[in-house]
Amino acid sequence: MLELKWKSAQIIWVLSNYSKKGKIDSIDLRELFLMFAMKRKLKLMSHLINSEDFSFDFNEDNFCDVLENDVFDIGVLLYREYFLQISRQREKIT
């Protein structure tokens, strides 16, 4: 989808349809989130986190995935927005 240069709205529509059919599990959502972070797709990342269509819960594991893949700029944005959720289990990060 990203290689075909689809618009964010089209990708959100396709992902919503897949999730309604039960074809997206938590591992897939984690990988999608990481891929969107690596491609710097903030709108899609925000939709995964905030949408009621997906059962995605942002946690420190997702934050660590972003940092391990050298996406530090997105890591800073995530930390500034979700530092309360991340700092609950600080030992995983350090």
pLDDT digits (tens, 9 = 90+) for 7-48: 888 888 888 877 777 777 777 889 989 999 998 989 889 888
For the chain, the residue count is: 94
DSSP-derived 3-state class of residue 74: helix
* 59, 42, 52, 54: CA torsion to nearest 10: -70
pLDDT band at 85 (very low <50, low <70, confident <90, very high): confident
Predicted TM-score (pTM) of this structure? 0.79
pLDDT band at 78 (very low <50, low <70, confident <90, very high): very high
Q: Is 5 left (phi over 0), alpha (psi -120 to 50) or beta?
A: left
Q: What are the sequence ranges of the domains in the chain?
A: 8-93
